[in-house]
């Protein structure tokens, strides 16, 4: 059994680095826009209609997840554009 420990085998291939950079960009933007969407959907109904007891559910179930999906798409577009 041979263990290949050459420098070339230990380095990431260029395509792996591009893939990791793309995933990092998608994750970063998904996190940013997910937090913004969640806070807007959670805090907004509390501020504008405090008597609505189900207002924060908007941020939990609608705007937070939509922000994550939109952020992933934005991150993908930015990573492809910068490539």
Express each pLDDT in 20-67 by its tens digit. 999 999 999 999 999 999 999 999 999 999 998 898 999 999 999 999
> Is residue 13 predicted with pLDDT exceeding 80?
no
pLDDT of residue 29: 97
Domain range enclosing 26: 22-82
pLDDT of residue 17: 73
- End-to-end C-alpha distance for the chain, whole angstroms: 39
Half-sphere exposure of 65 (CA within 13 A, CB side): 5
To 10 degrees, the CA torsion angle through 14, 16, 21, 25? 140
- Model pTM score: 0.79
Q: Is residue 70 part of a domain?
A: yes
Tokens standing for residue 77: 């577009």
pLDDT of residue 79: 93
Q: Is residue 1 part of a domain?
A: no
What is the distance between the alpha carbons of residues 40 and 34, in angstroms, rounded to a whole number? 10
Q: Is residue 12 part of a domain?
A: no
Counted domains in the chain: 1
Q: Is residue 7 part of a domain?
A: no
DSSP three-state, residue 80 = helix
Q: Is residue 10 part of a domain?
A: no
Q: Is residue 36 part of a domain?
A: yes
Q: Is residue 50 part of a domain?
A: yes
- Of 2 and 55, the structure prediction assigns the larger pLDDT to 55
Q: Is residue 72 part of a domain?
A: yes
């Amino acid at each position: 059994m041979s263990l290949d420990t050459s420098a070339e085998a230990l380095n990431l291939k260029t395509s792996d680095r591009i893939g990791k950079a793309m995933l990092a960009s998608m994750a970063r933007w998904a996190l940013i826009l997910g937090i913004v969407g969640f806070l807007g959907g959670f805090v907004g109904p509390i501020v504008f209609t405090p008597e609505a007891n189900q207002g924060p559910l908007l941020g939990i179930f609608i705007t937070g997840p939509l922000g994550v999906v939109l952020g992933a798409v934005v991150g993908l577009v930015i990573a492809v554009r910068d490539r």
